[in-house]
Structure 1
Amino acid sequence: MITGIVRSSVRQYVVRQLTKPHSACFVNHRMFSSHENVLEKAKERLSQLTEDPGNEAKLKLYGLYKQATIGPCNTKKPGVFDLVGQAKWNAWYRLGDLSQVEAAEQYSQYVSDLVGEVSSAAKSDTTPVNYQDLLVNDTKGVRIITLNRPSKYNALNYQMYRDLIDAFSSAASNNNVNAVVLTGTGKYYCSGNDLTNFAPSDSLTPQEMASAARLLLRDFVDSIIDFPKPLTAAVNGPAVGIAVTTLGLCDLVYCSERATFHTPFMELGQSPEACSSFIFPKIMGYSKANEVLLLGHKMTADEAFANGLVTRVFPDEQFEEKVKEIVDQIGSLPPMSLRKSKELIRGLETSFLKDVNDKETLLLEERWQSEECFNAIMKFMQRKI
């Protein structure tokens, strides 16, 4: 990601390295002033680039500029170990006998194409939507999604699920967003599902409610499985249920030392979700995963770290500062390299995870309609009153 000072320095570097006239170039440049203005105007447009155009584009610009200012390549090919020098030499040499005037015109046209592509991409990228219970902020190429329902401990209602799907979808298609960080407001990261989601409806039958809930949960989990960019969870406090299970689908998980991780599925007459039936045994081993998923064992931050669910634990008073450092670090890394590497690491499991998600949500649909689940939820809610 190229932002701030880095973006400015890269832009200056591209312009300086690809268009600076060397002493030999100046002599020839003055000899064909007929296209001097073409090159100068192209150099001015090149300064409008706000992102690194990539090595292929930079090499093409380099070759065309050398051809336009000097003519056909007249230098010896660099040694075999000078890989950068060889790449630049090849970009110039392959232009053959292309005239300086034609090279200048091609250089100018290519600069216009590059600037136009960036401008079009910028216009197509939309600013974050203001959601009711989510805060979405794009900073330095990283989208920070904050669950913002602190009075309910950031419990997820149906609308928050829909909004999270939308926030992930728009981040995936936004060229200015290279990674996402998910966190929470207040003392909790997320207390799981808002149990009012299970309240009877006057307009829907229990079967219709269960089916709609299954599809929404399936689509939400799929949106995380399919998310093509690095996804980091910054767990600022206790996490419950879906807030715990989705951590296994994140690429990095950082938490405060006061965070806890609790999945009381059996207590609520339900079953695992968000592919935790596969991922938790994979990272924790069957014995520990069963203790967490079947017995509802609440893990501490250190325990979650020891069992592979969490990447690192930070002292609570340093958590925000450390998360900011992580955001800045992610923002400084090459975005396409991050995406391609994530695809390599996760890609082989994507279809399988979606199958697991489908099976889990089908079982949950069945459980939600059972008398056992209804009685367990009523007992839990009465205990909370």
Structure 2
Amino acid sequence: MGYENILFEVANGIATLTLNRPDKLNSFTSAMHAEVRDALARVEHDKSVRVLLLTGAGRGFCAGQDLSDRAVAPGGAPADLGESVEKNYAPLVMKLRSLPIPVICAVNGVAAGAGANLALACDIVLAAKSATFIEAFCKLGLIPDTGGTFHLPRMLGLARATGLAMLGEKLDAERAEQWGLIWRAIPDAGLMQEARAMAEHFAVAPTKGLAFTKKAFQASYHNTLEQQLQLEADMMRELGYSHDYREGVQAFIEKRPAHFKGE
């Protein structure tokens, strides 16, 4: 597939996906959803990829849905927003959460609506200090989709999640870091440098162990303590037989850098 709405490249174990509709603050259209799905399928099936870096072009990360992409004008046929969620946004979140590699999001500007919740679906979120997060759904009489009703209360607690969702106020990156919504707020000029450095770190890290960590944290949302302890035992058993565990131990003993294969 040739891409017109995103930029995508793979190099040295790093897949970089850039939302690329800067004149529209990288808001989603059906065409961009299709391109993102294709790129993520390529990431999933390319065994050389050990980390995904997601960001946006221009002055914004993603302004959510491009409302001009579907007929919502007065007098027109009502749009089936549930179909849009089921076809596009829900599969996108599930794909990011299920990828067996770390997913880094570099929020370079405004992240609004589905754009804000797309960032929260990633494993580690870095944001430029000028960036803002806006749960803009309430201004349209909607709810926070793209996993917003799942991630926000778990990450922030009910009081802060409800305030953001019902008031639609801007949350700046530094406060987002203070509240635990993102990993780190970074001076604008250094955002992509730090994001790429983190991606380079993950590209040579023990990928399978990181993937299991991601999977275990997600399972903890619904497991009992007993179930989670058993999951930990099962995962540790499998990881203990891996090349990367043996290499990590040997490198520690020999006081040298480890050479992980992601296996």
Say whether 1:330 aligns with 2:192.
no
Classify the secondary structure of the residue corresponding to 2:153: helix
How far apart in 2 are the matches of 1:223 and 1:196? 26
Say whether 1:241 aligns with 2:113.
yes
State the shift of 1:350 in Å. 8.6
| Contact 2:54–2:103 (Cα < 8 Å) also in 1 | yes
**Higher relative contact order structure (alpha carbons within 8 Å, sequence separation ≥ 6):** 2
What percent identity do the matched residue pairs reach?
27
Q: Pick the structure with more strand per residue.
A: 2
Q: 2:51 aligns with which of 179, 184, 187?
A: 179
Classify the secondary structure of the residue corresponding to 2:136: coil
Say whether 1:257 aligns with 2:159.
no
Classify the secondary structure of the residue corresponding to 2:18: strand
Taking structure 1 as reference, are residues 156 and 335 closer, same or farther at Cα in structure 2, changes over 3 Å only? same
Say whether 1:214 aligns with 2:99.
no
Say whether 1:300 aligns with 2:172.
yes
Residue ranges of structure 2 left out of the alignment (5+ in a row): 224-263
Taking structure 1 as reference, are residues 212 and 278 closer, same or farther at Cα in structure 2, changes over 3 Å only? closer
For 2:23, the equivalent position in structure 1 comes to 151
TM-score relative to the length of structure 1: 0.54
State the shift of 1:219 in Å. 2.2
State the shift of 1:220 in Å. 2.3
* Aligned length in residues: 220
State the shift of 1:213 in Å. 1.5
| Contact 2:104–2:199 (Cα < 8 Å) also in 1 | no
Once the two structures are overlaid, the 10-residue window that deviates more, 318-327 or 254-263, is 318-327
How far apart in 1 are the matches of 2:27 and 2:176? 21
Say whether 1:280 aligns with 2:152.
yes
Residue ranges of structure 1 left out of the alignment (5+ in a row): 1-128, 352-385
Classify the secondary structure of the residue corresponding to 1:135: strand
List per-residue Cα deviations over 1:275-323 (Å, max 9, x = no partner).
2212211111111111111111210011111111110111111122212
Q: Greater CA radius of gyration, 1 or 2? A: 1
For 1:135, the equivalent position in structure 2 comes to 7
Match of 1:183, as an amino acid?
T
List per-residue Cα deviations over 1:141-167 (Å, max 9, x = no partner).
111100011111111111111221222
List per-residue Cα deviations over 1:180-213 (Å, max 9, x = no partner).
1100111111111101133259xx9536x44532
How far apart in 2 are the matches of 1:347 and 1:236? 30
Match of 2:84, as an amino acid?
A
How far apart in 2 are the matches of 1:211 and 1:336? 35
Classify the secondary structure of the residue corresponding to 1:265: helix
TM-score relative to the length of structure 2: 0.77
How far apart in 2 are the matches of 1:211 and 1:346? 25
State the shift of 1:134 in Å. 0.6
Match of 1:189, as an amino acid?
F
List per-residue Cα deviations over 1:325-384 (Å, max 9, x = no partner).
112111121222222222222244499xxxxxxxxxxxxxxxxxxxxxxxxxxxxxxxxx
Classify the secondary structure of the residue corresponding to 2:60: coil
Over aligned residue pairs, what C-alpha RMSD do you find? Answer: 2.2
Taking structure 1 as reference, are residues 165 and 248 closer, same or farther at Cα in structure 2, changes over 3 Å only? same
Classify the secondary structure of the residue corresponding to 1:181: strand
Match of 1:214, as an amino acid?
V
Q: 2:42 aligns with which of 170, 195, 205?
A: 170
How far apart in 1 are the matches of 2:154 and 2:68? 32
How far apart in 2 are the matches of 1:175 and 1:256? 31
For 2:64, the equivalent position in structure 1 comes to 192
